[in-house]
Amino acid sequence: MGSPGESASPTTRERILASARELFAQDGYNRATVRAIGRRSGITDAAIYHHFRGKRALYDAVLEERPVPPRGPEDEGASRQALLAMIISAMEAWARQPGLTALMFHQGIAGDGQTVEANVVAREEIIAMVEPCLQGGGSALAAEALAYVVSGMVTDAILRIGAAYPELALGADGLRHVAEAIDHILPAQALPAQQSAAG
Amino acid sequence: MPYLYRDNGARRAAETRKRILDAALRCFAAGGYEGTSMRQLAECCGLTDAALYYHFESKQALMEALLRERWGCLAAPRPEPDTARRPSGALAHLIDLILDRWAEHADYLRVLAREAHTSALARELYARIADEWADSMTALLAGRLHRDDAARIARSVRYAVVGVLFTGLQEHGAAFAELARQPAFRDHVHALVRAVAPVERFEAIPAAQ
């Protein structure tokens, strides 16, 4: 149990990690250097190497602290609204560290094994979260399709505007597009009133 | 015949330039921008460093030329409007054409996605490509569905397709091009597209006979 003073100010390790996260996000893994992370955090290289073995260890620690979306509902067959709210809360969780989310995309494309694995886990989390809401035949395929829509929206926004991506993916249009996709994927009988208006 | 010589020289220079861009595409896709040196590129093309620099003054200039000159290969296909085909069949046909482009130009897509982290040009070109795919899907569906329905279905399909593409590039890397040719993978993409694009539910305009 630390004193109040200790818990209020970040530890050296936390300060190093915060700078590493910012610099990796800004310059990418390859361009970032331990020296530049030191300059940014105002901590000597020697002190950084005391906490981390090198650039790779820093990156792994940053990856370790990625935001984790909330879990899905306990009860099966939640409503369309609950499904939408869950997906948005997952997207909001990633958006709390937008630079890291963008970095993980680019490092994944660069073929970094650990990052790819983390991204696979993120997609599987979305599938596990939405599948209980999609009852009936073909629900596994529907859940996978919805997970691809969500990952595609985030990817599309990252590729357009980088770390500012939540402006697009979680903007008014973005949220409307998630709701549309849910309407398309849910079985016809679960659709709201607009379906009868179109017919 | 001095003019003939000059033309031959220009043609040879254009061929060398193309050879350099082809090699750069392969090297940048595999090793990334930082992981590829001008010396390696020169070796890949069987050129001296000086000859390579004659065509491109820097690695930066080479990357820019590559991005600018090759993006057109990914522009959306514009299939002939085929009124005999149902909208779902027409959409499936377009997806097949897009899958062909992925298989053929996977290296370009990897380079584009990697560069987008730090290059405004790469972001701009991605946006153009993605918008073209969406416009192409909307145009394809617009004759058969109400315009708003066509646009919203095209949006969902575009997001799903972008998700599948970049997930596949991450998980399969250089093997993605081969994967995009495999019937089982293509069938799965079609099934995913049908799940996000239930066009039958929206069919509102009577089909022209």
What domain range includes position B163?
A: 71-202
Residue A113 with chain B: CB contacts under 8 Å:
none
Do A105 and A194 lie in one domain? The reply is: yes
Give B92→chain A minimum CA distance, Å.
16
> How much is the pLDDT for A155?
97
Do A50 and A91 lie in one domain? The reply is: no
Total structural domains within chain A? 2
Q: What is the mean pLDDT of residues B100-124?
A: 94
**What are the tens digits of pLDDT across the range A121-167?**
999 999 988 888 887 667 889 999 999 999 999 999 999 999 999 99
Do A107 and A179 lie in one domain? The reply is: yes
Do B115 and B173 lie in one domain? The reply is: yes
Q: Do B117 and A145 touch (CB under 8 A)?
A: no
SS3 of chain A: helix, strand, coil, percent, to 5: 75, 0, 25
Residues 6+ apart with CB under 8 A from B165: B102, B109
Do A160 and A189 lie in one domain? The reply is: yes
Q: What is the mean pLDDT of residues A27-47?
A: 93
Do A103 and A34 lie in one domain? The reply is: no
What domain range includes position A130?
A: 80-198
Instruction: Give the residue from chain A lying closest to B199, CA to CA.
Output: A184
**Residue A169 and residue A94: Cα distance in Å, rounded?**
11
Q: What is the mean pLDDT of residues B15-32?
A: 94
Show which of residues 129-168 on chain B sit within 8 Å of chain A, judged by CB atoms. 130, 146, 149, 152-153, 155-156, 158-164, 166-167
> How much is the pLDDT for A89?
93
Query: Which of the two residues, B209 and B206, has the higher pLDDT score?
Result: B206
Q: Do B118 and A27 touch (CB under 8 A)?
A: yes
Q: Do B156 and A147 touch (CB under 8 A)?
A: no
Task: Check whether A5 has a pLDDT greater than 50.
Answer: no
Give chain A's end-to-end CA distance (angstroms, integer).
Answer: 64
**Residue A155 and residue A199: Cα distance in Å, rounded?**
34
Total structural domains within chain B? 2
Do B128 and B195 lie in one domain? The reply is: yes
Do B101 and B126 lie in one domain? The reply is: yes
Q: Do A159 and B126 touch (CB under 8 A)?
A: yes
Q: Provide the CATH number for the domain around residue B52.
A: 1.10.10.60
Q: What is the mean pLDDT of residues A4-24?
A: 81
Do B98 and B173 lie in one domain? The reply is: yes
Task: Check whether B72 has a pLDDT greater than 60.
Answer: yes
Give me the residue from B113, B156, B202 closest to A181, CB to CB: B156
**Residue B153 and residue B17: Cα distance in Å, rounded?**
42
Q: Is B65 among the domain residues?
A: no
Do A30 and A125 lie in one domain? The reply is: no
Do A122 and A152 lie in one domain? The reply is: yes
Give B123→chain A minimum CA distance, Å.
5
Q: Provide the CATH number for the domain around residue A40.
A: 1.10.10.60
Do A109 and A194 lie in one domain? The reply is: yes
**Residue B34 and residue B49: Cα distance in Å, rounded?**
18
Average pLDDT along chain A: 86
Q: Is the ipTM reported for this complex over the cut 0.85?
A: yes
Does the beta carbon of B192 lie under 8 angstroms from any beta carbon of chain A? Answer: yes
Q: Are B102 and B180 in contact (CB under 8 A)?
A: yes
Task: Check whether A15 has a pLDDT greater than 80.
Answer: yes
Do B103 and B196 lie in one domain? The reply is: yes
Does the beta carbon of B204 lie under 8 angstroms from any beta carbon of chain A? Answer: yes
Q: Is A39 among the domain residues?
A: yes
Query: Which of the two residues, A187 and B178, has the higher pLDDT score?
Result: B178
Do B48 and B75 lie in one domain? The reply is: no
Q: Is B207 among the domain residues?
A: no
Q: What is the mean pLDDT of residues A178-198?
A: 65
Point out the domain boundary residue: A15, A33, A64.
A64
Do A10 and A87 lie in one domain? The reply is: no
pLDDT band at B209 (very low <50, low <70, confident <90, very high): very low
Tell me the C-alpha to C-alpha distance, in Å, between residue A119 and each of A5, A6, A65, A88, A155: 37, 34, 14, 18, 12
Query: A29, A87, A106, A109: which to substitute to probe chain B, counting the most B Cβ within 10 Å?
Result: A109
Do B104 and B177 lie in one domain? The reply is: yes
**What are the tens digits of pLDDT across the range B121-146?**
999 999 999 998 888 888 888 877 88
pLDDT band at B81 (very low <50, low <70, confident <90, very high): low
Give B155→chain A minimum CA distance, Å.
7
Do B86 and B157 lie in one domain? The reply is: yes
Q: Is B162 among the domain residues?
A: yes
Residue A188 with chain B: CB contacts under 8 Å:
198, 201
Q: Are B111 and B28 in contact (CB under 8 A)?
A: yes
Do B45 and B84 lie in one domain? The reply is: no
